[in-house]
Structure 1
Amino acid sequence: MSITPFQALACPLDGKPLSWSDSVWRCSDGHSFDIAKQGYVNLLPVQQKRSYDPGDSKAMVAARQRFLGAGHYQAIAEAVSNAVLSHAEVQAVGNPPFSCLDAGCGEGYYLRQLADAATNTHPLSLMGLDISKWAVLAAAKQDNKQAPLSSWVVGSNAHLPVQTETLDCVLCMFGFPVLSEFARVLRTGGVLLQVEAGPNHLRELREVIYPTLKPERSTEIEVLEGFTHHSIERVSYSLALNGSDEIVDLLAMTPHLYRASAEGRVRAAALEMLSVTVDVRLVIYTKI
């Protein structure tokens, strides 16, 4: 199985193609971006930041790394990998590698799972991007520096540092989709795979940290401009968390950490055991 880092990057300052040489990415206008010793590149200029240190904090990334490393979301990773690889196999032999961006990659768990699952499929070209430098740093540090599986990039979904129509697949895992940018970087016929929380996702945890639960969002499939709906798959199962550390990590890796009241966080931290429902939807769209 051939897995290579995605190379069709674009300058975040002027959109021109970047070329790689001597551990530096450069565009024709002379903008340059060094590859850090850990193996990632920062393509998030200060004018695209909304805060000094955007995205997940170092503590949130560490919590997610522990939680995902324990295999709690393995079923989600398997479903995502199967969906991506089924599309990769459709490409005829002799075509370029199937290129896939994880837009909001966190510490790289889902791309690593994809690479592990890709044994006898068409070659893959992978890129992981996140606005959190701590997340991308964690992802790059787990990669093989001699044979990296992905280009790891600090960047924003609102201004993807990717050349136009160069991707076959975009993953958006519990993330913040920017559909205009996803449509721009995808080739015609490329796929957008969104993983979204279902109505019962982490319900038991939410019942602990909130006084009341908000009405659930509509489960109807959205109509996305520039895309047609391809398919939908639901992944649902019960997850037993043993010990306060796992419960605290789950809370810490989700937006619920900041939405919950102080009293709600205290109640969650006091739990020694919790059975929660994992309920997500994998929705696939095709670019037209």
Structure 2
Amino acid sequence: MSSTPFSALACPLDGNPMQLQDGTWRCDAGHSFDVARQGYTHLLPVQHKRSRDPGDSKAMVAARQRFLNAGHYRPVADAVARAALSAQPEGGVLRCLDAGCGEGYYLRRLAETAREQDAALSLLGLDISKWAVLSAARQERAMSREPQEPAGSQWVVASNARLPVLDGALDCVLCLFGFPVYAQFARVLAPGGVLIQAEVGPDHLRELREIIYPNLKPEREASQAVPDGLVRRDVETVRFPLTLGEPQAIADLLAMTPHLYRASAEGRDRAAALDSLSVTVDVRLTSFVRLADAGV
């Protein structure tokens, strides 16, 4: 596999192209953004923040890192990697953004799969949580086979609401259990590019939800609406049983979901008392293709 550094970043202040020079991203207007020593770049201006420390907390990121690195969601990651690699231009480099990358697990698995298939990649991981992006950058550096090997991905702190990416610069966008901003996704995708969206299915973690909630709400039907500028290509369901045999793994699963905050204290206590838990993983992967005449 060959890795090409992602270079199609746009200035978050004026949208102009940026160039990387001596560890700093700069645009022609003179705005500059340093690459941190840990290997990521902060591209979320303070005026675009809705809180002092937006996104997942340091504790949530640590829980997700432990859970995902243990391989519990490996079938989901493998399905995402297959779908993403199907968007690779023939004989070209797959330019892929994970919009809401968290601590980088899915991009790392994509890179591993691409290496097995000798596919060429140019990867960008983006999250609004600085703790998530910091974890992603650190893990990638730790996994480098050579101490001076350049990072395979660019990691940036930014928001899906204002992607710091040039128009039409991507072949694939991943939005995995995150907050989709379809107008932005259509803008940054090249014509024929693919958006892969992961959402929970009706039975996802049902067994855990039955423990922490007194009653389960009826499941909402999946939306059949197609975002402007995109056309639905296909839908894949990834479904499998998962058994967690230790309290830490159960606690990490709860901590990385919205259920941690939605459940009552009594519900969280019931989950904390478990020594093991068997749950159903039910994930829906929907692929959309960017129209050539999207007009975005």
TM-score > 0.5 by shorter chain? yes
How many Å separate the matches in 2 of 1:64 and 1:191?
26
How many Å separate the matches in 2 of 1:63 and 1:205?
17
Aligned residues between the structures: 284
My pick for the range that moved more, 209-218 or 17-26, is 209-218
How many Å separate the matches in 2 of 1:247 and 1:191?
34
User: SS at the partner of 1:225?
Assistant: coil
Identity %: 63
- TM-score (structure 2 length as normaliser): 0.94
Q: Which residue of 1 aligns with 2:145?
A: none
Counterpart residue identity of residue 77, structure 2: A
Q: Which residue of 2 aligns with 1:261?
A: 264
Q: Which residue of 1 aligns with 2:40?
A: 40
Q: Which residue of 2 aligns with 1:143?
A: 140
Q: Which residue of 1 aligns with 2:90?
A: 92
How many Å separate the matches in 1 of 2:57 and 2:187?
29
The answer to whether the Cα contact below 8 Å between 1:67 and 1:246 also exists between their aligned partners in 2 is yes
Stretches of structure 2 lacking an aligned partner (at least 5 in a row): 142-147, 292-296
How many Å separate the matches in 1 of 2:87 and 2:58?
34
User: SS at the partner of 1:188?
Assistant: strand
How many Å separate the matches in 2 of 1:214 and 1:32?
48
How big is the alpha-carbon RMSD for the aligned residues of Structure 1 and Structure 2? Answer: 1.1
| Match 1:238 to one of 238, 241, 253 | 241
The answer to whether the Cα contact below 8 Å between 1:85 and 1:121 also exists between their aligned partners in 2 is no
| Match 2:286 to one of 256, 273, 283 | 283
Q: Which residue of 2 aligns with 1:16?
A: 16
1:154-169 superposed matches below 5 A: 154-169=157-172
How many Å separate the matches in 1 of 2:190 and 2:252?
37
Q: Which residue of 1 aligns with 2:294?
A: none
The answer to whether the Cα contact below 8 Å between 2:85 and 2:94 also exists between their aligned partners in 1 is no
Are 1:190 and 2:193 matched, yes or no? yes
Deviation at 1:254, TM superposition (A): 0.8
1:94-173 superposed matches below 5 A: 95=92, 97-118=93-114, 119-144=116-141, 146-173=149-176
- TM-score (structure 1 length as normaliser): 0.96
Counterpart residue identity of residue 123, structure 2: L
The answer to whether the Cα contact below 8 Å between 2:87 and 2:193 also exists between their aligned partners in 1 is no
Stretches of structure 1 lacking an aligned partner (at least 5 in a row): none
My pick for the range that moved more, 271-280 or 255-264, is 255-264
User: SS at the partner of 1:129?
Assistant: strand
The answer to whether the Cα contact below 8 Å between 2:102 and 2:133 also exists between their aligned partners in 1 is yes
Are 1:214 and 2:217 matched, yes or no? yes
How many Å separate the matches in 1 of 2:128 and 2:196?
19
Counterpart residue identity of residue 176, structure 1: F
Deviations, residues 254-287 of structure 1 (Å, cap 9, x unaligned): 1111111111111111111110100001100001
User: SS at the partner of 2:86?
Assistant: helix
How many Å separate the matches in 2 of 1:105 and 1:61?
11
How many Å separate the matches in 2 of 1:113 and 1:159?
26
Deviations, residues 85-127 of structure 1 (Å, cap 9, x unaligned): 1221xx222x4x2100000000000000000001334411100
User: SS at the partner of 1:54?
Assistant: coil
Are 1:229 and 2:235 matched, yes or no? no
How many Å separate the matches in 2 of 1:209 and 1:5?
44
Q: Which runs of 4 or more aligned residues in structure 1 lie more than 6 Å from their structure 2 counterparts after TM superposition?
A: none
Q: Which residue of 2 aligns with 1:6?
A: 6
How many Å separate the matches in 2 of 1:59 and 1:203?
24
Are 1:247 and 2:242 matched, yes or no? no
How many Å separate the matches in 2 of 1:69 and 1:194?
21
The answer to whether the Cα contact below 8 Å between 1:105 and 1:129 also exists between their aligned partners in 2 is yes
